[in-house]
Structures are given as structure tokens and as C-alpha cells.
Structure 1
Amino acid sequence: MKKRHYIRPMILVVALLFSFILPNSADAATITSGDLLNVTKTADVNKLVENDIANVSLTVKGTPKDSTFVRPNDVILIVDKSGSMSSDNRLTAAKNATKEFIDLMDLTKHRVGIVDFDDSVSSFPLTTDATAAKAYVDTIQLGGSTNTGDAVRTATAMLANHRTEAQPTIVILTDGAANNATDALNSATAAKMEDINFYSIALLGVNEDPSKSAPNELLKNMASSASHHHFVLGSVGLPDVYKRIAEEIGLASAYNVKITDTVSSEFEIVPGSYDNNIPKPKVNGNTLEWDIPELKSDELTFTYQIRAKTSTTAGKYSLGKTTTTFEDHQSTTYSLDNLNPIIEVLNPKPIISTINPEKGLTTGGETVSITGKNFLPGAKVYFGSNQATVVSETANEIVVSTPVGAQGTVEVKVVNTDGQFALGTFQYYADPTITSVTPAEGEMIGGNRITIIGSNYMSGAKVYINGVEAATQFSTASKLYVVVPASQIDGTVAVKVVNPDHTEAELANAYTYLTPPPPPVIQLDSLSANSGILTGGESIYLFGANFDRNVKVYFGDKEAIVNYYANTSKIRVSVPEGVSEGLVTVKAENPDGTFAELVNAYEYLAPPPAPAPEISYLSDPSALTGEQKTIYLFGKNILPGAQVFLGDEEIFMDFVTNSKVRIKIPISNQAKTVDVKLVNPDGQTAILVGGFTYTEPVLDPSPVITSLSSNTGFVTGYELITITGSNFTKGLKVYFGDNPAIIVSVTDTEIQVKTPASVTTGLVSVKVVNPDQQEFILTNGFEYTQVPITVTKLSVTSGPVKGGNFVVIYGTDFDKAMTVTVDGQEVSYTFLATNRIRISMPAAPAAGTVDITVDKAGAKASIQYTYN
């Protein structure tokens, strides 16, 4: 079939100008009649077996003989005006394209009519008046649902009386699913049965997939052919589709094309395999008929499937007979008969169900039944590459006498006379034999290699000695190499060989496990040392004979650790801890239970007494009363668990080494010197007489103030003052009253500070506090005074006697709690900043100069102002 694509606006024209022709099969039979029509029939296989399917393709291609002849057409344009046509301005695009179509039509030859529809149908009759037809198009308005079936029937009725010489044609444009798809398809089928040429245009959404669109599938089936008479696109580009249709109307290679394809009686058409063809053929038994009103230059491909009937015997058969009749533009009738491909029908392939028995002797001559089906008379049977003798045969069973074969599995092949075959399997076997075993004896521990001589051994054969599987290596059909397994008993035992096909041979009394000699007797002659301390741990050597690598050694009842095995006559042990002082027996015992002893050969000695502890010195031998500290005690022979005493008080001790411990000195409230005592766990003691001393702390002299560089200052603070005196210490604090001063510098005799601010005026005490909390107070040593204010200028120095004008007073240290008077009369003011305020001048009784006075808590400043 021709490939069909969803046509986008920018590629529409290009897409419509190209067609794609599928290559013909190698077995195609092609007949050409002049330059009008080319019919090709192919099958994808040339051989068929029962139930196999052949795909048949029938390709029809028109080649116009006279492209200048235009056959008159009576064309009905069906325009969808349902509500969905409002999307993307589709109706407007459809109306404009329809009018362009009318302008492109050669109305000296053709006629055009219009059907517009929604849930109801309206129409404009066939005409050659383009102006009237286009005027009707302009009247089409959006409506309701999509009654496609009635629209097609209306168009069909309008074409019932088409001109005899004219080809009736319908062009339908719609974007929505029909109200009743079955009714719409039936109406199109009825129209095509009236030899009406049927074009369809599916107007889909931009993102709508044509292959999944039900409206598009419906319109494709409504068209005269899917490849040539059906288009799918968006509303943009619709004029190009109409132009293509308008330009080709009346141009065709052939008219009233009827293809009659009759399949040979040896085959049957697979039901439903032709349903996807557009137009769909009429099928009657083994005959398919296609009716094509007109054939353009496009290539149409129709497909269906066939299979051989079960009653068909093997042989080569023509696929059938294909006859095509058609007319040219002058109504001359042509008829073509196509040669059909030849298809060979093969016999059913043979099948093997069972082979009984499934195994037999390698010498052959055994009767075997092969059951299955589709066996042909004269079939041959092979066991591997050797042909068997056929005793009897039917379609379902062949009885044979087996040929000679080799041990193992072989392929059984039944070959029919037509070359088809079926496969099965058969196993040849031969009983193995054992002639000899060499060598025929060995130790009970096994591990020695022997050779088994005999016959009919297979690769993968297993060997059992006294029922125990041995490691086996296949050599030849008459020789196996075996590693003898260990045995728990001595004596003569059987040897058995088992092939992978379960055939076996056993030779009794074939191999002897030898009785092992008695083990050598262990000897213990001497020790490298005959005494040691009771705690044990010394390394000594034992000398003797026949020591096993896993020998155990005992000192009395205590087992020693054997930490070195030199050889059978020398080992080294670590002596275990003794129970008590005195002599003990030393015993060496092998794993087999044999042992040797040296009575009272080793003496445990009492350990020497531990050395007494000593105290050498303390890392810090003193502390202040009220002080706690951690120090180190250094000495000798200090044992873990030792105790330390300061005087009579035990103190915390942390063992570090036998010459160093860490101790914590407790707090004492009185000065004193005490002994330091260390007691080891064994009771031995060391004393450092007067080893630690508590002393009273020595206080620095208290501070003294003799003078201040200035005894007064403003309440605003931050004035630099020098305090002179003695015993001043870095880190001290200075207070003016209760307020801390800012420390600038400190020496033993001088302190420089910046005074803190004060909320009130008057005398305050000055206090110096050293870091050791000793202090000195200079009572009423500093006086805070109010900051004086000043008035420096006025923004204006004169004004009218009636007053009312604003004057800004400039000065220093202004605030919001001051009083302002003009010639003794208090006035209100606006605080602007600490250096300016603003007043409104009051009226004056007469011209003259007056004082403006600012009073801040008794501090006053004045300036003169003149009334004009």
C-alpha cells in the first residue's frame, strides 16, 4: 500500500506530489496493455505446507495515455458546518478554500453543487455559475452536530440525474466524528455503488494522531481509495488539497476498472485477510472483485492471504486467474488476463512422537518402533549416519532393525521421499567389563593412583572402590585412571565401573587395603631446664623420640603450650603456672594415646619477694590553703592497685607506670606539712617524710587614692581624669558613684579613666577595686556639674512690633526641657537640634531692643533682638 502521512501546512504541496511504489516480488507475473494500465500479482512464498499462509499482493498502476483529455465531472462539494468547525477558524478556511475550488473548476466542462450540513442538511444545485455558487458558500453558518449520513445521501440524490457523459463525484470535508459512523459509511458505500467517485478530507487538530483518529479512519473507508482519494490535514493548507483535486478531476488513466481475481481451487482465501483494502473487494467463494470508478496515475495495492486446502495433494499449482476490464476516456473497453505465480504445495512434514525402545546394543539388530504421523511410503530411517533396515511402514509407524552403532546418543532421522524429515534420539549402549586393576593394593589412607583395564568404558564413567566413589580420569574405552579413596577398614574389596548410560561392571576382590604397621613408641629423654618459678612462663626444650606434630605436654596436671615443633625428637614448650612449690612429673602424649613420662623431672620454685616501693619526689610539693591541684608522684617499684596517703588521708591515685602515678591534692583550710605515703598491694610501704606543704596565700597591699587631676566634671561624662595613688593592679575597676568608668591605662601609681555620665549633679565617691577585691573609696571625691549653655546668634535680629515672625536661635547644649523668654515673657519653642531651636516672636508694646533668654536648669544665656 502507498504510505500516507499526516500533512502539515508547510509540507502539504510537496507531500501530495510524491507517491511511493513498492518493489515487485521476484516471482511476479506482469502483463502490460499499451500505456494505460499495469497489473502485477505476487506472492511472498513459492512453497506452502499445510496451515502455512501466503501473502498475496495485487498492484494496479495507471499510466495516462492522453493527459489533454478532460472527462466532464458533476461534482458535489460537501462542507461540514457543525459546531466543532469553529476551532482554529476552520469553517472560514473551508469556505474560502471551497470558493477557490469553484474558481479552479473549468465550468465549461464541469458542474459544481454544494451540500452543507450539521444536524440538518442544506444544498445548492449543480451549476456552471461560479458567482452564484460562491455566493451560496458565503451564506454557510456554524450549526450543531454532524449528520454525515444524510449529507452523503443528499449529494447522492443530487447526482442521480448527472449528465450521461459526466463522471459523478463527491468531495466531503469534515472535522468531527459522525453522529452515526455506521450510517455514514453505509451512505458512502451506497454512493460508490452508483459509480460515484468519492473523495474525503479529514480536517484534524494540530496534535491529533491520524492513526488513532476515529473520524479519520471513517473518512478513509468512505473514500474510493485510501491512497489517492483520501487526505488528512489541518485547516491551513486546505486550498492546496482542493487545488490538487480540482486539477485532476476529469483526468484518469482508466475508468470503470473491474479486477476479478479468482484463486485456484487447491487454495482457500483466509477470511478477513482482505478487510483492510480500500476499496474493499466483493468476495464470493474463491473470487475477489474490486470496482474502481477511475484510476489515476497512482499505484494501488490490494492484499489478501491464502492457504492450501487440507485435501490438496503435493504438487505445483498456479495461484489462480486474474482478469481486469476497464475503459479509456473514449469509452473503449480493454481486458487484461494476468499470469499468476506458481506455488508448490508440499506434503505435511513428518513428525516423530515416540521411539520404543529408546536404547539398544551397539551390535545392532534390535527391533525398534518409530511412531508419529505423515510418514510416506519409501521413507528412509537413519541412526546417526547409518541407515536402518525398514521392516514395516504405515503413515503413523515405521518398524526398523537397528544398524551397528557406537556407544552414546545418536540422532534418529526419518526422511520422506519429498526430502522433508523428522528427528528423534536413540541411545546405543554396551556393558563394560573389568579385566584387571593395577596395582591391586595400597595403604588405607588412599591417595595412590591405580589403572583399571577392561572394555566399553565411556567418557564420564565413575569408579567405586568398596562403594566409595573415587576420583576418575577417562583415558580410553579400555582404560581408566583412578585415585584410591581412603578406607576405614583393611582387607580385599570390590571395584565397580558405572557408565553415564547406567551400564556397569563389578570385579569382586579386585583391590586390597593393607593393614597399617603399628605406630612408633614415643620417648621422653630429658629437659633443657629442670626448674623454674611457680608463676611459669619459661621456655624450655623437651628431647626424646617419635614426637607427633600434634603432641601434647603436661607438667603435673597442667597442660603446657607447645610453641615450636623442631622435629620428632625436639620440641619447645612454655611452662604452665604451677599449683604449689615442689617436683612434678612431665608427660608427652601423642594423638594416638601413647605417652612417655619423666617422673619428678621439673621443680617449681617459690618466686623471689617483690622489691619494696620507693618515693623519689613530687612534681609540685606545695599548695595554698583552699587550693586543689593534680600532680605526679615519681618513684620505683610501684604496683597497680597501690594506695597513696597525704598524712592520714587516702587520696585519689591513677597508676601510670611502676615509676610514675598521678595524684589529686585535696583542699586544706590550714597551713601544714604532711608525710606522703605509698602502700603496694603486697603491703610494702614507702614514706616521703614532710613531702607536701600547705601555705597561707600572701595578699598584695590594698590600693590607695591620694588625688584626682580634676575633682569636677560635667554630667555628660567622658572627661579624661588621672587618679594618683599606690598599689594599683592591672585588671582593677573604677567607679564614680555607682557608675563604672572607662579604664584608659593603669600603672602602680596612676590610673587614667574617662568619667561616666551622671543623671544628676553633685558630689559622688570615687572607688578603686583591685582584682583581689581589695578596694579604696575616696568619699565625695568628685562633683558632677551641669553643662553650661550658650546662645551664639539669631537667624534674624529684628522684626515688626506686631510679632508673629519665626526666629531660629543658635547655641550649644540645647534640650527639650529648657525655658525661653522674650523680654521676660515665656514663649514656646520647637526643638530642632542640640544647637538650634525655633520660636514665634510675640507682639511688643513698642519698638526697641529686648533680651531673648534661654534657661537650662538655672544655666542661662541671652541675646538681643530689636522690634522695629
Structure 2
Amino acid sequence: MKRQHYIRTTLLVVALLFSFILPYSTNAATPSGSDLMKITKTVDVNSLVENDIANVTLSIKGTPKDSTIVRPNDVILIVDKSGSMQSDNRLTAAKNATKEFIDLMDLTKHQVGIVDFSDNASSYPLTTDAAAAKAYVDTIQLAGSTNTGDAVRKATAMLANHRPDAQPTIVILTDGAANSTPDALASAKAAKDAGIIFYSIALLGPNEDPAASAPNKLLEDMSTSADHHHFVLGSVGLSDVYKKIVEEIGLASAYNVQITDTVSPEFEIVPGSYDNNIPKPTVNGNTLEWDVQELKSKELTFTYQIRAKNTTQAGKYPLGKTSTVFEDHQKTSYSLDTVNPSIAVLNPKPVISSINPEKGLTTGGETVTITGKNFLPGAKVYFGTNQATVISETPNEIVVTTPVGAQGLVEVKVLNIDGQFALGNFQYYADPTITSISPAEGEMTGGNRVTVIGSNYMNGAKVFINGIEAVTQFSTTSKLYATVPASLIDGTVDVKVVNPDGTEVEHANAYTYLTPPPPPIIQLDSLSANSGKLTGGESVYLFGANFDRNVKVYFGDKEAVVNYYANSSKIRVNVPEAVSEGFVMVKAENPDGSSSELVNAYEYLAPPPTPAPEISNLSDAAALTGEQKTVYLFGKNISSSAKVYLGDEEIVMDFVTNSKVRIKIPISTQAKTVDVKLVNPDGQSAILVGGFTYTEPVMDPSPSITSLSSSSGTVAGNESITISGYNFKKGIKVYFGDRAATIVSITDTEIQVKTPVSSVTGLISVKVVNPDLQEFILNDSYHYTPIPITVTSLSSTSGSVKGGNSVTIYGTNFSNSMTVTVNGQEVKYTYLAANRIRISMPAAETAGTVDITVDKAGAQASIQYTYN
């Protein structure tokens, strides 16, 4: 589990025990070193079989004699200043925490130096001057990428000449993946090989998963041990991590710890199972070696996996040998030997792959071959609870004689002498017999119950009569009950019993289906009704004798639907439809083919004639020429498929009821009165003479303009004008030239408008257009004038006759489309804003005062300028 301040990585070390003892662990240390460290070795299993894997754990815990003894340290603080340190204000947090670290260090014992890095590394040498070191930290600035390897090599070089009595130490802080991971790992290994203690701090994102973080994993692998690695999320808590490292520096239980763990030759180490150890061990054959530069009071855990070799015989073997050498802070040497536990290697479990044959008689005495693997000499074989006689045996095959057994499936067990066993299945069977069936006959319809007497019946046995499965009920091994299935033929048939195990017996001519008596003759006597409509559908009762439930009835050659069976002498039918009127024969026919009929028993009657349509009136009988409207037509006997005509023109009709339809009156261009005609699909029709009239509309008087309240305005528009006249209508439109004016209010004699913007100056016509498109034009009645401009001042009022100087002209209503002249000569200008433009003064032939004139669509303004 990884915590806020460090990641503890678990590595596996396996110790194996016998299956009959509990998992074993030992704590062993020589008296000279046991007060400085303890090593505990445990294993998660007590026995191994074939390719089973065991997990071994080696736990190392420091137990310092005196926690007040502090070894002097020469410490290089490596600080990442790459561009990514800008996120979450990380560089500021790192610099502040670094200065706190320097303040917390006891510089009467320790020294501190600094390496800051990005693409390249810079440094400040080892010192006891806290103020100078912190001042250097303040100069660190954000830079480029993350060249971690270069920074570590820089720090390693600075520690090459550390004080003889001081422990060289590196503390690295970085937030990004190194430019080269292999280079960073190689530089850290070189530092640790040089005897440098290596602390690492991963500065991760606020929501980053440490377990999935590549930079976090890299720094963990670079550190001296898992206990020397820390991480923080989003720089929160960074000061606490630095403070913790300060408290740890110089305090250790043991130094230069070398652990050698040799696995016994009966086992092999699983390749790669030790890769997650920090530090990783050096593996040579069956020997693992760990080098830990310093061991603190926290527990380190190393793990790996082992398995028994294929050549190892069953037995009890010690796991191996574990020895440790180390030094204390005064470089006094110590050694520890850890007694390893033992582990049981078991024979592989036997396996049954096949049993041949898979079934045999209950009387036993049959030869059966059991094929598989891992059979040991002296193995016993059981069929259920009965032991079989072993004829021959090899590791892969046992031949036996079956013992007596009970009918059904039994378990076959091969039991090795070590107590391990394998299981298979064997089917004991006995052929069933049939001695009698009672009763031995019945109707062809079946459904009767019979008893089958015999022997060796199994629960789940099935009875077949003439090859058809009967519903069977198990009673005893000598009695079955069966419900006889129906048969299409009469006579004697075979009976068969089939057990669930596939054994069966058949008794020939054991059951007889009796011949049924002949069916009664059907007789049709009368009908409850003898006539009806051509469309049919009437309900009619038929009376007679011996009607079957599945009787069929025909009216002529059309079959009627039998919708009610009262009894064998009374049924009810729905009369089918007929093509033409007249008498037809009625016949009743039973499923056995017998029939009875009555000649001319039913008459189909011709339908009465349909009534002619009538028109009474229209909801609206008039329209204006050019007008389209929808009206209702009222009358009688109107078909949904009828057609309606206005004069000779068929018009659109929507059917509502047989006395009301909706019609669409088309547009007419002339006044007239026309007939309205309605025609049903049968050809019958009705006419409303002069039923609809078109009339000419009455035209309104045309509008007229008598005067305008103002006859001129600027091209900017938006002038308020009153137009006087008469016959102005609501919805009227007003145009100044070809542009529509905005109407403010309207009466019959006055219109208040806002003039539109104009693109031209001069006289234009004013036009009004009523909604009926009648219009009036007052020609050349309104004059558009230019927007006036002014020139108020110049940025410079004089200059050399050579010209070339820049002059800003100030005024109002300037635009991009103007003309500027100096003494009548047009010059180019630069439009700056509506109140200023800039020109470059042209050269003049003589000194003197000239006019600068600005012209905008005929509106002009001038100002004077003096040539010197």
C-alpha cells in the first residue's frame, strides 16, 4: 500500500514447509548484531506439488541501539526547474520547501549543496552557510526539459570529495518523466554504487494515480530502498516530506547491508518474481543478493517465488540459507545467519483420463482398463464402495476386474498409497424384462392406464407402445405404470421399456387396439330461416341428427362458419355471401365424409334499390370574382364517393355525412351564376339550378398626395415628414425614390413617416401605394442634400515649400469616400476616424498661404496652410 509520504513496494521471498506442519518462520541473529536489525523469513504454503508456486517473504527491520547518534551527512538537493514545474505553482512550492530543508538541517554536523536542472544542470557547492544556500535557491528559474541523468551525475561528481567521516546523500525532487529513463536509472545506480544514499520525491498531479505514474515508478526504482522514496499530490505536503527526510538523515540502524539468500538445489527461483523489489536483487542461479546502503527502523520487505524442480523426489527439504553482513555508524562489522524452514515436496496427484469400457454388468467380473497418469505402485481401485481386483498396473494404466455393483452410475476411485486419489465414473447395468401387461387391450383413442410387470426397471424408465412414447410412472424395479397413447390403426402392437442407461427390452404383440364401431349417419332436417340478403351474415339454426363437433355446412358451393355447437341435433351458422339472388342447396357434412342436404332450402333475396341523392342548400351561395372559399352542401343520400360539379367543372369534395359534404369553390375571373350538381357512383344525381353566384368586387378610391411638410433633408434620412392628401388606407406603403420610408402613424388624410437613407443627392419622387395596389406619385417633390462636413484645425499650420511633412486634419463627418485638395491639387489621404484624416503635404512652387479643401459628396469645408 502506498501512502502520502512514501511507497512501500512488496517483494516476494518463498519458504516452504511440510503439509503436516503450520507455516514456519524464524528470527535469527548473532548476539553481536541482533540489537541492530532482525530478519524474519516466511512462506505462504507448507507443501508443493508439481508446478505449484510458493511465495517467500523476507522482512528486514532495523532496531537501532541509540537513536540519538547522528552520522554526519554531505547532502546534495536536486531540484527540477523544467517547464512542467509551472503547473500547480510547483516550482515555488519546491523552492520554499528546499529553503525550509536547509533551515532544518543541523549545519554544525551536515553540509548541503544544490543542483537545479532542466536541459542542463547548474549547482551550488557543499556549504554550511544556510543564508548563501537559500539565496541561491531564490535564483532558480523555470527552464526547458527534464535531463534527470545529467543532474544526478552532477550531484555524484560534487560528492566525490565528501568529508571522510560524512555519509554522501542525494535528495532529488522532480515532477516529470526523465528525457531518458535508462539514463536516469544508470546515473542513480552509479551514485548508489559509489556509496551515496539516494532519496527521491515524486511531485505528481493533484488527481494523478501514483500506481500508474511512470515518473513515480522511475523515482522509486532510483531510490536506495522503498523507504527512501516519497510522493506528493499537487505539491501539497511537500514541506512535510522534506522535514521527514531531515529527521531521517544520519539516523540508521545499519549501513552497507548485504543480504545473500541461497535457495536449496531441489527448488528453482521463478524468473522475474523478484523484479518489484527495491532495491532489485542480483540473481545468479539459485542465489539472490541485495545491497541496502542504510537500514532505518522501518521494515523492508523483499519477496520472490520458487517451485520444485521436475527432478525432485517426494520428501522434506530445507528452503536454503540466508546470511547478512552490515556495519553500524562507526563502521563496525556484524553478521547474521537466518535459519531457513523446510518444505514438503509431494507426489503429483493421480489423474484419470478414461475408463474402458465405461459400463458393465451388475454381476461384475468384467475387465476394465483405467488410463491416466501419476498412478503409484500399490494403488487401490474402488467401484463405489466395493474394491476391484487389480490385474496389472503402470504409472499410466491400471487393469482391474470389476466387483459386483448396483444398477446405475457409480464413482471410480484410484487411491495412491500417499492418500491422493483420482475420480471417474462407471455405469452398472442389467437388461430389463417384460413378463406381462395388464390390461392388454383398449380403445384406439388411448388414455387408459396399464401396468407393465417385469424386472430391472430404473427410475426414469420409459414405456413405448407401437413406437409411441407413453406417459410413464416408475413404481418399483419390477413395476411401471403407463398411459396408453392414441393410435391411428387398430390391432396388436409391440411394447418396449427403455431404461435411462440405454438398456431396453421389447415384448412383441403385447397390446391390442380394439376396432371402433361405425359412426352414426348424419341427417339434416330443417333451417330456422329460409331466406336472407345477398351479403349474407345472418345467423341460422340447423336441425337434424348426428352432427359431429367438427361438422361443415355449405350454402350452395360456399362454406358457412359454424359459430355454435349446441348438441348433435342443433348447430348455428353464419350464412355466407352469394353472388346472385335465388335458391341454393344446404348441406351438412361430418369429418367421416357422411353428409345430408336439403335442395332449394335457402333463398338469397335481391337488395332494394338505393335512393337518389338530393341537394337542399349551400351554407354560402356567393363569392367575389378572384375569391376562393370553402362552403358546406346539405342534402340527402349523398355517397362518400359522390362527385360535385360547379357548372361543368368538377370541384374538390370532402365527405362529412350522407347529408353534408364540404366543397371548395374555385376562383372565377368573371361574374356569373352557375348550377351545382351532385352525382353518386350509381349514376343518380341532383341539381341545384343557379345554386352559386360570382359577383365583381367594388373598388376603393385611389390615394392622392396634396403636400409634404418638408421638401428636403440630408441623405442620412430619419427626418420626420407629414404627407397630406386623401384616401390613405391602413397598410399603405410610402417610397422616397425606390426606398421605403418608415411609417409612424396614418389617417385617411395624413401619414407621419421617417425618411429613408439615400445613396444619392438631388430631387426624388414620393410615392404612396394602398393595399389594393392603387398608387399616387408626387414627382421631384423631395430634395436629398449631402451631410455637411467641417474642418476645425490642423496638427501643423505651416511647413517648407519642399512638402513631405505629415499633417492631421481635424473636423466632423469624415469618411473613406472624400476628395482632398491642396491649393486645388488633389492629394491622397489616410482615414483615421470620423473626426480626423492625415495627408502628406505636396511641394509648392512658392511660399505663401493656400487652401486645404475637403469635399464629401458636394459638401465642402476649407482651412488655410502656409508654405515657408
Query: How far, CA to CA, are the matches of 1:682 and 1:463 in structure 2?
Result: 75
- Say whether residues 1:348 and 2:348 are aligned partners: yes
Q: Report the number of matched residues.
A: 680
Checking the alignment, whether the CA contact within 8 Å between 2:86 and 2:142 is kept in structure 1 is no
The 5 Å alignment of 1:193-342 reads 193-194=193-194, 196-202=195-201, 204-207=203-206, 209-228=209-228, 238-342=238-342
Query: How far, CA to CA, are the matches of 2:423 and 2:591 in structure 1?
Result: 64
- Aligned match of 2:25 in 28, 38, 57? 28
Query: How far, CA to CA, are the matches of 1:334 and 1:498 in structure 2?
Result: 84
Q: Which residue does 2:447 correspond to in 1? A: 447
Checking the alignment, whether the CA contact within 8 Å between 1:264 and 1:286 is kept in structure 2 is yes
Query: How far, CA to CA, are the matches of 2:123 and 2:592 in structure 1?
Result: 121
Query: How far, CA to CA, are the matches of 1:654 and 1:185 in structure 2?
Result: 91
Query: How far, CA to CA, are the matches of 1:118 and 1:578 in structure 2?
Result: 103
Q: Which residue does 1:4 correspond to in 2? A: 2
Q: Which residue does 2:413 correspond to in 1? A: 413
CA offset digits 1:196-233 (Å, max 9, x no partner) = 24132335354455444444433322222122355557
Equivalent residue letter for 2:201: A
- Say whether residues 1:38 and 2:41 are aligned partners: no
CA offset digits 1:380-426 (Å, max 9, x no partner) = 22223333222222111111222233333333222222222222222
Q: Which residue does 2:437 correspond to in 1? A: 437
**What's the CA shift for 1:120?**
5.9
Secondary structure at the counterpart of residue 459 of structure 2: coil
Query: How far, CA to CA, are the matches of 1:625 and 1:361 in structure 2?
Result: 109
**What's the CA shift for 1:460?**
3.5
Q: Which residue does 1:173 correspond to in 2? A: 172
Higher Cα Rg: structure 1 or 2? 1
Q: Which residue does 2:852 correspond to in 1? A: none
Equivalent residue letter for 2:466: N
Query: How far, CA to CA, are the matches of 2:558 and 2:551 in structure 1?
Result: 15
Query: How far, CA to CA, are the matches of 2:242 and 2:604 in structure 1?
Result: 126
Checking the alignment, whether the CA contact within 8 Å between 1:364 and 1:405 is kept in structure 2 is yes
Secondary structure at the counterpart of residue 290 of structure 1: strand
Query: How far, CA to CA, are the matches of 1:299 and 1:605 in structure 2?
Result: 110
Query: How far, CA to CA, are the matches of 2:579 and 2:99 in structure 1?
Result: 127
**What's the CA shift for 1:129?**
5.8
Secondary structure at the counterpart of residue 52 of structure 1: coil
- Which is further off, 308-317 or 537-546? 537-546
Checking the alignment, whether the CA contact within 8 Å between 1:578 and 1:604 is kept in structure 2 is no
| Structure 1 residues 149 and 436: alpha-carbon distance in aligned structure 2, compared to 1, 3 A threshold | same
Checking the alignment, whether the CA contact within 8 Å between 1:553 and 1:560 is kept in structure 2 is yes
| Structure 1 residues 633 and 124: alpha-carbon distance in aligned structure 2, compared to 1, 3 A threshold | closer
| Structure 1 residues 592 and 153: alpha-carbon distance in aligned structure 2, compared to 1, 3 A threshold | same
Checking the alignment, whether the CA contact within 8 Å between 2:348 and 2:374 is kept in structure 1 is yes
- Say whether residues 1:472 and 2:472 are aligned partners: yes
Q: Which residue does 1:568 correspond to in 2? A: 568
Query: How far, CA to CA, are the matches of 2:346 and 2:132 in structure 1?
Result: 68
Equivalent residue letter for 1:155: M
The 5 Å alignment of 1:318-717 reads 318-523=318-523, 544-552=544-552, 565-571=565-571, 588-596=588-596
TM value normalised by structure 1: 0.63
| Structure 1 residues 457 and 531: alpha-carbon distance in aligned structure 2, compared to 1, 3 A threshold | same
Checking the alignment, whether the CA contact within 8 Å between 1:147 and 1:180 is kept in structure 2 is no
Secondary structure at the counterpart of residue 311 of structure 1: coil
| Structure 1 residues 110 and 174: alpha-carbon distance in aligned structure 2, compared to 1, 3 A threshold | closer
Checking the alignment, whether the CA contact within 8 Å between 1:78 and 1:151 is kept in structure 2 is no
CA offset digits 1:579-617 (Å, max 9, x no partner) = 99999877554332334466x78596999x9899999x9
> Once the two structures are aligned, what percentage of the paired residues are identical?
66
| Structure 1 residues 447 and 66: alpha-carbon distance in aligned structure 2, compared to 1, 3 A threshold | same
**What's the CA shift for 1:47?**
1.8
Query: How far, CA to CA, are the matches of 2:554 and 2:152 in structure 1?
Result: 115
Equivalent residue letter for 2:49: V
Query: How far, CA to CA, are the matches of 1:235 and 1:640 in structure 2?
Result: 89
Secondary structure at the counterpart of residue 199 of structure 1: strand
**What's the CA shift for 1:315?**
2.5
Query: How far, CA to CA, are the matches of 2:610 and 2:288 in structure 1?
Result: 126
Indicate the RMSD between aligned Cα atoms, in angstroms.
5.9
Checking the alignment, whether the CA contact within 8 Å between 1:148 and 1:178 is kept in structure 2 is no
Q: Which residue does 1:150 correspond to in 2? A: 153
Q: Which residue does 1:49 correspond to in 2? A: 49
Equivalent residue letter for 1:301: T
Query: How far, CA to CA, are the matches of 2:269 and 2:729 in structure 1?
Result: 118
Query: How far, CA to CA, are the matches of 1:428 and 1:362 in structure 2?
Result: 5
Checking the alignment, whether the CA contact within 8 Å between 1:527 and 1:540 is kept in structure 2 is yes
**What's the CA shift for 1:375?**
1.1
Equivalent residue letter for 2:153: D
Equivalent residue letter for 1:172: V
Equivalent residue letter for 2:3: H
The 5 Å alignment of 1:123-162 reads 145=147, 147-159=150-162, 162=163
CA offset digits 1:656-693 (Å, max 9, x no partner) = 999x99999xxxx9xxxxxxxxx9x999xxxxxxxx99
| Structure 1 residues 52 and 134: alpha-carbon distance in aligned structure 2, compared to 1, 3 A threshold | same
Q: Which residue does 1:61 correspond to in 2? A: 61
Checking the alignment, whether the CA contact within 8 Å between 1:553 and 1:588 is kept in structure 2 is yes
Equivalent residue letter for 1:267: F
Listed as ranges, the gaps of 5+ residues in structure 2 are: 16-21, 624-630, 643-650, 664-670, 672-679, 694-705, 708-724, 731-746, 752-868
Equivalent residue letter for 1:87: Q
| Structure 1 residues 436 and 147: alpha-carbon distance in aligned structure 2, compared to 1, 3 A threshold | same
**What's the CA shift for 1:353?**
1.6
Checking the alignment, whether the CA contact within 8 Å between 2:192 and 2:198 is kept in structure 1 is no
Listed as ranges, the gaps of 5+ residues in structure 1 are: 8-14, 644-651, 670-678, 684-691, 698-714, 717-736, 743-754, 760-868
**What's the CA shift for 1:510?**
1.0
Checking the alignment, whether the CA contact within 8 Å between 2:11 and 2:304 is kept in structure 1 is no
Secondary structure at the counterpart of residue 204 of structure 1: strand
Q: Which residue does 1:731 correspond to in 2? A: none
Equivalent residue letter for 2:303: T
**What's the CA shift for 1:69?**
2.1
| Structure 1 residues 200 and 335: alpha-carbon distance in aligned structure 2, compared to 1, 3 A threshold | closer
Q: Which residue does 1:845 correspond to in 2? A: none
CA offset digits 1:74-130 (Å, max 9, x no partner) = 414143476548736766765665555455444444445555666666666655566
CA offset digits 1:279-338 (Å, max 9, x no partner) = 222333322222323222111111111111222222233322223333444555443332
CA offset digits 1:796-827 (Å, max 9, x no partner) = xxxxxxxxxxxxxxxxxxxxxxxxxxxxxxxx
Equivalent residue letter for 1:158: N
Checking the alignment, whether the CA contact within 8 Å between 2:26 and 2:338 is kept in structure 1 is yes
Query: How far, CA to CA, are the matches of 1:221 and 1:534 in structure 2?
Result: 101
| Structure 1 residues 94 and 77: alpha-carbon distance in aligned structure 2, compared to 1, 3 A threshold | farther
| Structure 1 residues 192 and 610: alpha-carbon distance in aligned structure 2, compared to 1, 3 A threshold | closer
Equivalent residue letter for 1:30: N
Query: How far, CA to CA, are the matches of 1:512 and 1:479 in structure 2?
Result: 20
| Structure 1 residues 38 and 564: alpha-carbon distance in aligned structure 2, compared to 1, 3 A threshold | closer
TM value normalised by structure 2: 0.63
Checking the alignment, whether the CA contact within 8 Å between 1:117 and 1:151 is kept in structure 2 is no
| Structure 1 residues 580 and 294: alpha-carbon distance in aligned structure 2, compared to 1, 3 A threshold | closer
Query: How far, CA to CA, are the matches of 2:503 and 2:191 in structure 1?
Result: 82
